[in-house]
Chain A
Amino acid sequence: MTLVDSPARPSRLLTGMTILAVVMFVAATLMALFYAPTDQQGHVQRIFYMHLGAFMGGALAFLIGAVASALYLARRQKRWDTLALSAIEIGLVLSGFNIVSGAVWARPIWNTWWTWDPRLTSAAVMWLTYAAYMMLRNGIEDPDRRARFGGVYGIVAFTSVIFTTVITRVRPDTIHPVVVGPSPQNAQGSFEINSSAMTVTLVFNIVTYVILALTLIWHRVRLEELAERVQQIKVRMFSR
């Protein structure tokens, strides 16, 4: 069974999810910009909703990538490898947005685009780890070996996601604030979620980015399977 039901058109569920993701994305952005109250930091704090949302979406995509990698190694079915590749690509996009939006927010609040803080460093290295995953796949010609090594590296790379998530809670010397739970004592530019409008906007943004990540991964899987189909048809045409 493949995830592509009809090669020409996406399934009804995928179409529905795409529409839902687009509508929710627009609504979430509008909520962050207009519905959420202005924080004492000013309007720039509104980046927070997208910043955390994109991180959550990216981390979920990397988690799916790691689970799919493990499933590929256990079952040796091509579709798990396709899913791992797709999830990691989408994770790269979302965590890239997370890092860039963080830099834009840091400029007015920390007075610098970037600082060599454990949290920022580990987030950047997480991104580079998955960029190395793509390099590894490009460097191997044999498709079976590419999938197998991709599976191994997809699991090893996930340690960097765990590290990024854990580091602000282990190390007190980071200046990156933590919103849920106690913030580190040196945190700069932290703020409190003190109104229900903020909580609603935050939860809605996280849910939106999760759905967005899932939809994009599904589209990416479909693209990969269609590309393979084209390849098969080409082989059939030329072998005549």
Chain B
Amino acid sequence: MTMTETAQSTSQQTAAPRALKTPFWRAMIALAAKDLRIEVRGRELINAMLLFAALSVLIFSFALELDRTARETSIAGVLWVTVVFAGMLGLGRSLAAEKDRGNLDALLLAPVDRAALFFGKMLSNLLFMLVVALLLVVLSTVLFNVSLFKPWLGLVIVLGTVGFATVGTLLSSMAVHTRARETMLPILLLPVSLPIILSAVRASTAILTGAPQEDWIAWPQLLFAADLILLALAYVLFDFVVEE
């Protein structure tokens, strides 16, 4: 905030004719588009995430011996654990790459709202997680013969990944500055995202077992409330994480 204020005041003093700041939406879309372009060309991150997700589903099917009855009750848990861990792979790399290749400093020097940087990174992380979730939905429908194509489940997946990507982007931007950052991210992220994971798993399980709506509707509501709180917190707190 203080950075932007001083930037504005100096622009008034020197009476610069053109606007100094890139508009919020344009900066945010540009940053997310840059991440997507890197992935379309290199496929470094998304390939790792997708392979990890496929492997994880296989490991779970052996470990839990997912027979026909066990599938319905535990497939939602498998889905969410896989999305969370694959998402963490992506989160760890996404900001570490910016920092190691020196792009983070350039982004912070750019005349862009800090919140636009946050939401740009969060948007690209969210898109990668949604791609993983989509693969998992297709994969489990084919492999386990449980149809996951349900509109309510889609909504829960979107709400859950939005919350997880929000808090994940905020905390991974802190974790890259710590010692042993690869181990720090899960320790910081998993407990804070429990409200999201718990409500998402409970809602998904209830939807897949076909429970009546009034039994589980409180979970998506809780999820939505948690998303709003985390988005507001991340919007306010990201400034403090990246300043310097």
Contact = CB atoms under 8 A, between A and B. Distances in A.
A129 interface: yes
B194 A140 contact: no
Contacts, number: 78
A195 to B, nearest CB: 35
Nearest to A148: B240
A153 B174 contact: yes
Interface string B177-212: 111100010011001101100100000000000000
A160 B192 contact: yes
A43 interface: no
A153 B175 CA distance: 11
Interface residues of A, number: 28
A156 interface: yes
B233 interface: yes
B195 A170 contact: no
Interface in A102-130: 118, 121-122, 125-126, 128-129
B237 A156 contact: yes
B177 A149 contact: yes
| Chain A, interface SS category | helix
B184 A135 contact: yes
A157 B192 contact: yes
A128 B186 CA distance: 12
Given A73-B240, A149-B177, A149-B241, A136 B195 contact: no
Given A141-B179, A149-B177, A121 B195 contact: no
Contact of B222 (A128, A132, A159, A170): A170
Nearest to A157: B192
Nearest to A146: B178
B233 A155 contact: yes
A152 interface: yes
Nearest to A158: B233
A157 B184 CA distance: 15
B191 A139 contact: no
Interface in B228-244: 229-230, 233, 237, 240-241, 243-244
12 contacts: A118-B198, A132-B187, A135-B184, A136-B187, A141-B179, A148-B241, A152-B174, A152-B237, A157-B192, A159-B192, A160-B191, A170-B222
Interface of A: 73, 118, 121-122, 125-126, 128-129, 132, 135-136, 139-141, 145, 148-149, 151-153, 155-157, 159-160, 163, 170-171
